[in-house]
Amino acid sequence: MKNTLLASKRLAISESGFVFDPVSGQSFSVNETGLVILHLAQHEDDLDKLVEQLAEQFDASILEINRDVQDFIYRLKGFLK
């Protein structure tokens, strides 16, 4: 997971949610929540801290946010080769 968080630093991300990976050439779109996660991941390497920051912004439990972020990262791995 940490490797995927680190890889997110190389992504070009538009404010509309369009994401481009210059290494793999992949592009994809994310929703508003995915956009927030990616922006945080570009500045935060620690998953627990990232989840804590999300908990300050969203009305959900740490467990829910952690589960959702891990699912998001798992899916992101498919695009970041």
Q: Look at residue 6 in the predicted model and tell me its pLDDT.
A: 76
Which pLDDT score, from 0 to 100, does residue 34 have? 95
Helices of type H across the chain: 2-7, 32-41, 47-57, 62-77
**Domain locations along the chain:** 2-77
Predicted confidence (pLDDT) per residue in 1-55, tens digit = 767 777 888 999 999 999 999 998 999 999 999 999 999 999 988 999 999 999 9
CATH fold of 2-77, please?
Answer: Arc Repressor Mutant, subunit A (1.10.10)
Nearest to 15 by CA among 32, 37, 40: 32
**What pLDDT shows up at residue 2?**
67
